[in-house]
Structure 1
Amino acid sequence: MTTASSSSLSRRMALREMNSSRGSRLSVAHAVMTIISSTSVESLLTAEEDFLEHLSFLSSVALNALLRTGADDHAGKDTIKLLQHFNESFHALWELTSEGYKTLKQTHEQDSALHIEELYLLKQGHEFVKAFREYFSSVTNFMVIKGFDRAAKQASSYWKSNKLVLRQMIEDTSNCPIHVLLPRSFIDPFRNHLQYYTLFLSKLMQEDSESEPLVDSLNDYVELQKHIGQVLDEASQSKLLWSVLSNKLSLALCTPERRLQEDSRNVPITVSSGKHDRILLFNDLLVFLQGNEVQSYDLKTVWVDSTMKKKSEPNNYFLKIITPEDEFVLCTKEPEHQGLWLWKINQLIRQALNGCRDYPLWGKTGEASDPPTSRLSTYTFKADGRYKDATYEGDMSWGKPQGKGTLKWPNGRNHVGDFKFGQEDGFGISLIPNSSGDQYDCYKCHWRRGSMEGYGICEYADESVYKGYFKENMRHGFGIFESLAPDTQPFKYTGNWYKGKRSGYGVGESTNKGERYIGMWLDGNRHGPGIILTDSGACYQGIFSSNKMVGTGVLLSENSTVYEGEFTEDRLMTGKGKMTFSNGFTLVGTFNRNTASGLQTQGVLNTQFGHHEDAVKQKYQLGSGLFPVEERWQGIFEQFNKFLESGCVGDTEESLLGFHVKSSKKFQKSQEYLSCERANEEVSGKIEDIIKEISTFTKIEDLILYLEKAFRSSHHPFKKLLKILLGVFQATYAGVGTNFHLIGMAQEEIIHYAKKLWELYRALLVMAGERNCLKLSLLDYDEEISDDTYTHTLILPLLLPRFHPDLFMLYMLYHEQEDEFYWQGIIRLGILTDTKLLEFLDVQKQLWPLKDIKLTANQRYSIVRHKCFHSAIDCLQKIITTVDPKEKLEIILKTYNEIEKTVKMTVDKDYKLPMDDLLPLLIYVVSRAGIQHLGAEIHFIRDLMDPTNRGGIYDFLLTALESCYEHIQKEEVRHYKC
């Protein structure tokens, strides 16, 4: 060894020692690296030189000729593309070999020692393997489509003149024909050179048998030889198959990459139905032949069940082939044949799903894992049915869509969502093009067994929107439909649906007509008892049939005139009836309408009871007895009951109670800071957490606090339900159609909501007890107290803040005239000084709280204003700061206590106010408090107060306040002379 080589070796050994600390795979015993002998290097150089000469000669003599021939080959449409790949892989291998040769020669000429692991053949081993694989893939693809055969025919004279040269290149002694010689010239030299690599590495193994890179590379080259042998065998068998099949079958099945893997004529197996006479298994297809007819199935969408047995055929062995649209039973009499077909089909399926063939082709031991039964697949449906021509992309199991997936039709229709057993099941979004194809209906719904069922939101191409429930692809149950298209009449319907049509109780509103209909529907028409409210203030109540009013009814005009009698279909007064005017006069007779002279009547006018005070009290209430409150919104509570009956299973919550638009992770993160402070106030919306939490309450206060949070939490079922109830309430009683004639319906509806929510809570509590095997009662829940009491004390106070704006507007409208008279009285009494007002109200002078009032030198008691009973006035004014009837009653009680407290301080002794003293003092406080809409407040409290408070102190004081209110209405201060 030369000095230079010794120095190089020392440097390499030093580097090797440094690398050993980083986990080098070489042991300490092999720290001294093995050097390749000069003889071996020269042998490799000679072999590489010969191979490169072969490549150069082959390129100029054969490859270039093939490329020229392929350019003129119109018979094979894939020829040019395949030849380009052939040429690229040929030159890639040539370039890699040339680079290895240059590196080896340069090292050898420099007389440098070459370590085994620095051999280019090892260092770039993976690149060599890849290049050989690509090359033989391109050669066999060209061979399978008979590219060499066509080239031999097209340029037969050229090949004849070079036949001898090609024979010498491959050392052929058999004088084989050109179409055989030509592919061999592109195969034999490469296989021989690869075999040389294997032998060369084997010899090196004798010098360094423990070099892991050498062992790995040798194994790779050995396996590569096996792989190439298998590839060539498959290509030969496939080419032979295309030669014996008819032209029709060959055209239908032959592709460059397709390889025959098994043939039922070689390993017998038949289709039990007898409809097919030959079965072919390719690397990508399972094919059934019957004459010239072909049925082919992509292996990615093929499943094999080997567990099938038939009692009628105990000596046969079966394989059930399952595809998305077809099923076949394969039969064989030998268990070995069944096992071979099963093994090959399953492994080819697995390889097709992985997107590449095994290397080596069938695994080192001939074994591999079975394909997954659940897999990501693509399939286009061909058979008639709902999915005809649709392409499915997504999860499949045993031939059926199962999991997440997408269906796309050629016309642009598509469906994205969950599937079960081959059908849409779960949440999904469908886009369906309209007749013109440029706009789409969008269905964001829950599905069950292929049909829309459960909650959904549908946005139609005409800009109309439906939010509600479906059954069997039709609107069914509660739903809201709104049409806002500019070219149609805007319309909104909130109510019940039956088989796609408006049926049952509902509210319809037409903006253009300025009408709102509240009542019963059938087959999309107003049918049954109903109420029509108009923008002008007129109201109709009657019976409808197919959108027409029939029989008798009621008309409330904008000037408070009431007509009860017969109508035409167009709601015109015609026939017998009674008209009550706003002043209390009544007219009973026969009415008819003349185009020229207008409304005419013949009847009796009664003025006996016509006076102003009775007219004020008479306010007709619509809907009384027509629509039992329990039957109005059954469809809403029905869904929650179904949720409870289902056991509150998590995957049923969205479909029954509505679903959330899931926020992106980015959006959720952006909200974390904003929500951190209120996070402690939120409660979980998961039913498991709800049941767990309500099981731990020990006090009524705990429940109240929990319900407050539940009604605020957007994910809690109670919040979802409350949101829908608020929507239907506003659709019925708020907006343009707000009308005080509906106050009775609205008030009883609010109480019904509270009652139903209490019932639902109790049902959840029972479920909690069943799940925890406990006998639960509600905390310190008193069984002797009625559910109505808990409804008013627990639930109603939580609901009223949300409904109060719309509900109280009805109360203000209902009591508008009385409140106007009351306010005039407030203004008149406000003119008086404290002493004049107390004197006017006949308050005993001993009860006048004047002695503690500090006066200046220029003041006297006779000019004092707003100084008496100040604490009571401040207290009463707080009645407008809360919407809870109980809290309002407590404020009234506290006001009474403040009056009594002031009186005690005035008289310096305990003094129980009798009614004769209380009423004038209370009138004084009310007049000075100046509470607007006090009549609305009083009746709001009385209608919604806890029934247990009736007849008690609260009821007494509320009655006293009402008396003050009525007294102030009627007061004629203008006749009093100050």
Structure 2
Amino acid sequence: MKTKELSKSGQGQSVEKECFGKKLDVLRQLSESSGDKVPLSDLLVSLFYSLYNTSARVQQAASQAGHLFRCGRKRKESETTNQFWRTYSGKTTDVLQTPQRRLVYESSDKSLTLQNAGRFSVNRFILFNDALIHAQFSSHHVYPLATLWVEAITDITASSNQYGIKVTTPEESFTLLASSPQEKAKWLRAINQAVEVVLTGEGSGAGVPAVSRTASYVFCKDLRLKDASYSGRWLSGKPHGKGTMKWPDGRTFTGTFKQGLEDGYGDCKMPNKLLDKSDRYQGHWRDGKMHGFGTYKYATGQVYEGSFHDNIRQGHGMLSSGKLIGSSSSVFVGQWLQDKKMGYGVFDDITRGDKYMGLWVDDQRQGNGVVVTQFGLYYEGAFSNNKMMGTGLLVSDDDTAFKGEFSDDWTPNGKGTLSMSNGDFIEGLFSGEWTSGLKITGTYIKPNLYEPDKESTCVLEVGRLAVPPEQKWRAVFSECWSRLGCEAPGRPEESRRAWEHIAVTLTTGRRDSPELLSRSQSRVLEKLEVIPQHTGPVTAARYDVIRRYLTKACETPLHPLGWLLETLVTVYRMTYIGVGSNRRLLQQAVEEIKSYLRRIFQLVRLLFPDLPDEGVVIHTDPKGSSETNQQGWLVSSSTLLLPVLLPRLYPPLFTLYALDKEREEEVYWDCVLRLNKQADLGLLAFLGVQQKFWPVSVSVLGEKQQVLPSTKDACFASAVETLQQISTTFTPSDKLQVIQRTFEELTQEVHALLEGNFLFSMDDLFPLFLYVVLRARMRNLAAEVSLIEDLMDPSLQNGELGHMFITLKACCFQIQQEKTT
């Protein structure tokens, strides 16, 4: 064996010991191994294990060698830096010399100069491991490497052999000229490698640091940012991305920057030295200014939530002042222009207990408006210079009304008509304040006795001097059109642009606020981001897809339509809750909802330009989806939008209906209570129901029981329970469906009783249905009927559902007029 022969010589022994050491015996055993000695596999395992340990020691030795090399390099850098400071002749040595600073490269041989420098100027550039220093005779500039960007410039001038390097810093940019291409390459490589080491802790060898990076910097020259410190993302010398800026006066901005300016969402705190508190703005910025939607909390306690434009309030917004228990509590929601109330708005003076709903100019009530108070007073008419001035209508809680001229708040002054609740009225000249007494010169008229054809119409004309519904909340709808990338209705060619804006808005919202979204909400957003096919004829299946899409969109605040509905719900509740729960506002509240539907439907037509006109019926394809309505779909704003809008507006709206029908409800409820004291058969007889419709037995818990003269609340119980569900629904269509199911339940019970088919006549049906209505004991039936009548789709009025509704309405009226013996 060669190994055995080599081991016999002195030179071979030294080589063996140097290479293998104690592992030499293993190799000898391996070379001399035979079948009857140690197994060859065990010897190989032992050999590989020994080689592994040898490799580990080799790596350790290499690491130690590298460490020695780095120590030597650092020592050399230290000696070079020390030698540099000994020969440096600048006047700022003490300021620049720091213990950790090491020299990398310097231009004492004029290998690098400043472009456009004066003939007699002295410019020296020194590259350290943490900064690039531009030293002059008596001054210097320090540029930290973490916020330094350099790039090559080829041929400053066509006739020059000089080569340029562009240097970008947070506050200035300048060009350095190298004496040769070689010097240019050396400086570029040296600076980039030094920057990369500062950013990453070690050089990658490529010598090209990231253009976008995270770093901190204190500004010293920029007028807007002087002495401010910034920590965050940078891009080519400018704050770009998420970061935090702090000013010496305590102002702090945390958010998104773009090219050095606040842009995107941000949180800014601004100290108010007079109040020793801070203003705070949380919202959107553009080009360094508050722009878009945001919330501004003033040090005074006021809070503004709405739109900004170039640092001022403009667009739709809500300003809250004070607290509910404070001495100056108020809330304004409406339109702003140039930081002032302008256009339509609602001002709720919580302290005084009154609410204004009308037009504004330069922070003052100007134009038509409505005022309601906690004492039941109602005024509608003209305002000027923040006062009731001009023609107006004033109505008190007891229905006394004055229509005429006003010169101040609650102060009639001039011609007018005063109407009393009994129908009498006075025409003439009026003066004085309403609450303290009026001076009247005029004629007292009792139309019922002397002039039956002449009567006052003050109360009947409530709402005519109020702001028309189409003029309300224009800023809200304008903002929605803007979010869709359009200026105004009537431009269907912008449909594609609107869908693109929707996709961008949803994607941005899902990316910027993932923590605020649940998994199901994220899935909904992903579906809404997909632009549905919206060209070609609208079939029943496609109409159903559109309906489903709009439902999801309106329930998603990030979607422009969802934001619109959320804002409309806020302003509606702000208007008609609290002092706004005045029964004389009912018709205005109803008309406002109808206006919402019309204007939102314009937005829907923008997104789906092929949608048929309102009133068109899209018939169902027999081969289409089984989920669509078998009779087809009626295209209308109410069927599309009322199901998602009305449930949110229902509480304040139904409160107004209940207040408006309060007196009728008292009479109705008194009659319901009295009539329900009777047993079933006695009540059926009292109502004139034919005996053939009287149930002989009823099912109770699955067992049949005979109807006795004392039996109560057992007959037609299924129909009664069905009708009671009307108070658990919101939209007129849902309430009509409940009425229809009630008729079906009633018809089934009668057919089962008569054991055969039977066709109801109205004479038979009305008293029987009246019995069901009485037993249902619905507390606000008059309000329910009125709501259905006002908001039901006109196409349903003459159909089967319309006739059923008229029957219910007639029952309600009959109960109010019923006389019991």
If the TM-score is normalised by the length of the shorter chain, which range does it land in? 0.7 to 0.9
Matched, 1:471 2:309: yes
Q: Deviations over 1:437-471 (max 9, x none)?
A: 74222211111111122221222323332222222
Find the partner of 1:412 among 250, 258, 266: 250
- Structure 1 equivalent of residue 579 of structure 2: 736
Matched, 1:578 2:417: yes
Say which is worse superposed, 268-277 or 901-910, in terms of deviation. Answer: 901-910
TM-superposed CA distance for 1:343, in Å, is 2.6
Match of 1:642 among 461, 465, 482: 482
1:684–1:716 CA contact under 8 A, matched in 2: no
Matched, 1:229 2:76: yes
Question: Retained in 1: the 8 A contact 2:307–2:317?
Answer: yes
Give the AA of the match of 2:566.
K
CA contact under 8 A between 1:850 and 1:861: conserved in structure 2? no
Tell whether the 8 Å contact from 2:401 to 2:459 is kept in structure 1 after alignment: no
Q: Does 1:346 align with 2:192?
A: yes
1:969 aligns with 2:812: no
Tell me the number of residue pairs that the alignment of Structure 1 and Structure 2 aligns: 748
Task: Name the counterpart of 1:879.
Answer: 726
Preserved contact between residue 443 and residue 457 of structure 1 (Cα < 8 Å): yes
In the TM superposition, residue 481 of structure 1 has moved relative to its aligned partner by 1.9
**Structure 2 Cα separation of the partners of residues 398 and 303 of structure 1:** 6
Within 2, Cα distance between the matches of 1:13 and 1:753? 97
Tell me how far apart the structure 2 counterparts of residues 729 and 896 of structure 1 sit (CA, whole Å).
Answer: 35
1:685 to 492, 512, 525: 525
| 1:497 equivalenced with 2:336 (yes/no) | yes
1:833 touches 1:862 (CA, 8 Å); kept in 2?
yes
In the alignment, which of 297, 303, 306 is matched to residue 459 of structure 1? Answer: 297
Residue of structure 2 equivalent to 1:377: 215
In 1, are the aligned partners of 2:341 and 2:363 still within 8 Å (CA)? Answer: yes
Distance 1:876 1:625, change over 3 A: same
In the aligned structure 2, how far is the partner of 1:823 from the partner of 1:219?
Answer: 98
The CA deviation at 1:534 is 0.9
Equivalent of 2:369 in 512, 515, 530: 530
Structure-2 residue corresponding to 1:814: 660
Report Cα offsets for 1:857-902 as digits up to 9, x if no partner. Answer: xx99876655655554444333223223123223333444555556
In the alignment, which residue of structure 2 is the partner of 1:949?
A: 796
Structure 1 residues 288 and 488, CA, compared in 2 at 3 Å: closer, same or farther? Answer: farther
Contact 1:525/1:547, CA 8 A, preserved across alignment: yes
Q: Which amino acid aligns with 1:441?
A: D
Give the CA RMSD over aligned residues. Answer: 4.4
Identity %: 33
Structure with higher strand content: 2
The partner residue of 1:520 within 356, 359, 364 is 359
- The superposition leaves residues 569-615 of structure 1 with CA deviations (integer Å, 9 ceiling, x where unpaired) of 22312221112222222221111128998212121222224999x99
Residue matched to 2:85: 238
In the TM superposition, 1:911-922 aligns within 5 A as 911-922=758-769
How much does 1:527 deviate? Answer: 2.2
Task: Provide closer, same or farther for how the CA distance between residues 318 and 850 of structure 1 changes in structure 2, counting only shifts above 3 A.
Answer: closer
- C-alpha distance 575-278 of structure 1, shift in aligned 2 (>3 A): same
Q: d(CA) in 2 for partners of 1:909 and 1:245?
A: 117
Residues in 2 aligned to 1:464 and 1:439: alpha-carbon distance in whole angstroms: 13
- Which of residues 274, 283, 288 is equivalent to 1:450? 288
3-state secondary structure, aligned to 2:442: strand
**CA displacement 1:362-397 (0-9 Å, x = unmatched):** x9xxx6512222222222222353222211111112
Q: TM-score scaled by structure 2?
A: 0.80
Q: 1:22 to 1:535 in 2, by over 3 A?
A: farther
What letter matches 1:523 in structure 2? D
Cα distance, 1:521 vs. partner? 1.9
Whichever residue aligns with residue 215 of structure 2, its letter is: S
Distance in 1 (CA, whole Å) between partners of 2:571 and 2:465 is 20
When structure 1 is superposed on structure 2, of 336-345 and 866-875 the one drifting more is 866-875
Aligned to 1:187: none
Q: State which of 254, 273, 276 in structure 1 corresponds to 2:97.
A: 254
The answer to whether structure 1 residue 398 and structure 2 residue 236 are counterparts is: yes
Structure 1 residues 312 and 949: alpha-carbon distance in aligned structure 2, compared to 1, 3 A threshold: same
Q: Please give the residue correspondences for 1:695-734 in structure 2 after superposition, counting only pairs within 5 Å.
A: 698=541, 718-734=561-577
Q: Which residue of 1 aligns with 2:430?
A: 591
Q: Report the secondary structure of 1:598's partner residue.
A: coil
The answer to whether the aligner puts 1:24 opposite 2:75 as a matched pair is: no
State whether structure 2 residue 689 is matched by structure 1 residue 849. Answer: no
Question: One-letter code of the match for 2:112?
Answer: I
Residue 644 of structure 2 is aligned to residue 798 of structure 1? yes
Does the CA contact (< 8 Å) of 1:286 and 1:298 recur in 2? yes
> How far is the alpha carbon of 1:320 from its aligned partner?
1.7
Q: Distance in 1 between matches of 2:505 and 2:602?
A: 20
Secondary structure class of the residue paired with 1:330 = strand
Partner residue in 2 for 1:601:
440
Judge conservation of contact 2:671–2:815 (CA < 8 Å) in 1: yes
Residue correspondence of structure 1 range 7-406 to structure 2 within 5 A: 20-21=48-49, 24=52, 26=54, 213-214=60-61, 217-218=64-65, 220-221=67-68, 224-241=71-88, 244-246=89-91, 249-274=92-117, 276-283=121-128, 284-307=130-153, 309-311=155-157, 314-354=160-200, 368-406=206-244
Cα distance, 1:434 vs structure 2 = 0.9
DSSP 3-state at the match of 1:428: strand
Task: Give the match's secondary structure for 1:691.
Answer: coil
Select the structure of larger CA radius of gyration. 1
Instruction: Show the counterpart of 1:627.
Output: 467
- Whether the aligned pair in 2 keeps the contact of 1:518 and 1:532 (CA below 8 Å) is yes
Q: Secondary structure at the match of 2:413?
A: strand
Q: Unaligned stretches of 5+ in structure 2?
A: 1-9, 11-16, 27-42, 486-496, 612-619, 700-705
TM-score w.r.t. structure 1 length?
0.68
Residues 535/683 of structure 1: CA separation in 2 closer, same or farther (3 Å cut):
farther
1:22 and 1:763 map into 2 onto residues whose CA distance is 79
Structure-to-structure mapping, 1:546-585, within 5 angstroms: 546-585=385-424
The one-letter amino acid of 1:386's match is R
The answer to whether the 8 A contact 1:574-1:592 is kept is: yes
Of 783, 786, 809, which aligns to 1:939? 786
> Distance between the aligned counterparts of 1:876 and 1:427, measured in 2?
51
Contact 2:344 2:472 in 1 (8 A): yes
Secondary structure of the 2:484 match is helix
What's the secondary structure of 1:392's corresponding residue?
Answer: strand
8 Å CA contact 1:238–1:260 kept in 2: the answer is no
Per-residue CA deviations over 1:223-260 (Å, capped at 9, x if unaligned) read 6445433431232122210xx223xx334433344445
For the Cα contact (< 8 Å) 1:682–1:712, is it kept in 2? Answer: no
Single out whichever of 680-689 and 540-549 deviates more from structure 2. 680-689
> What letter matches 1:601 in structure 2?
I
User: Which residue type is aligned with residue 726 of structure 1?
Assistant: V
Contact preservation (8 Å) 1:378, 1:391 = yes
In 1, distance between residues paired with 2:150 and 2:502? 34
User: How many Å apart are 1:720 and its aligned residue?
Assistant: 4.2
Q: Are residues 1:423 and 2:261 paired?
A: yes
* AA in 2 matched with 1:691: I
| Per-residue Cα deviation, 1:278-312 (whole angstroms, up to 9, x for no partner) | 12213033333454233332222221121365456
Contact 2:412 2:433 in 1 (8 A): no
Distance 1:712 1:22 in 2: 71
**Secondary structure at the residue paired with 2:227?**
coil
C-alpha distance in 1, partners of 2:211/2:540?
48
Shift of 1:642: 3.0
The residue type equivalent to 1:507 in the other structure is: V
CA contact (8 A) 1:682 1:713 kept: no
